[in-house]
Amino acid sequence: MTPFGAKLRALRAEQGMTQAELADRIQVSAAYLSALEHGRRGAPSTGLVHQICAELGLIWDASEELLSLAKISKPRVTVDTAGLTPEQTALANRIAQNISRLPPTTVAGIHALLDQMPDTGKPRLRRLARRGEA
């Protein structure tokens, strides 16, 4: 199950809505909605997430949370280690081979470690152009 699927299922249950009811309201099949909830489908589009938020009455932070979860809910992840160090490639492979055996405390610890990393995202060209730096 993906983070998005787990959250969607919980939100739908809180509202007392069945998969079939929500699927009908957002105009997708119940099978597709079930696959989303169980992590058998890729991350939904932003448009579909907006539809779901509207049907569930989600606004502000709750809506942003669901959008954020959708972005990190790809059930089949590929890691391209070309150009990385041998140690980084080995780590990616070890994680891939062992992720299903990691206890929840270890997974939480890895998340915490990654959360401490500085944001090194490159600024978009539009932002640079607005500042006169391009």
The structural domains of the chain, with segments of one domain joined by +, span 3-71, 86-115
Burial pattern 11-43, b for ≥16 Cβ within 10 A else e, equals bbeeeeeebeebbeebebeeebbbbbbebebeb
Residue 121 CA to residue 9 CA, distance in Å, equals 32
* Span 71-95, average pLDDT: 91
Domain 3-71 architecture = Orthogonal Bundle (1.10)
Mean pLDDT computed over 81-108: 94
The per-residue pLDDT for 76 is 84
Distance between CA atoms of residues 108 and 59, nearest Å: 28
- Report residue 125's pLDDT band, with 50, 70 and 90 as the boundaries: very low
Q: Are 48 and 11 in contact (CB under 8 A)?
A: no
Residue 80 in this model has a pLDDT that exceeds 50: yes
Condensed to tens digits (0 to 9), the pLDDT of residues 9-66 reads 999 999 999 999 999 999 999 999 999 999 898 889 999 999 999 999 999 999 999 9
**CB contact at 8 A, 28 and 64:** no
pLDDT value at position 133? 44
Question: Could you tell me the pLDDT band of residue 94, with boundaries at 50, 70 and 90?
Answer: very high
Name the 3-class secondary structure at 2: coil
Please state, in angstroms and rounded to a whole number, the distance separating the CA atoms of residues 30 and 19.
6
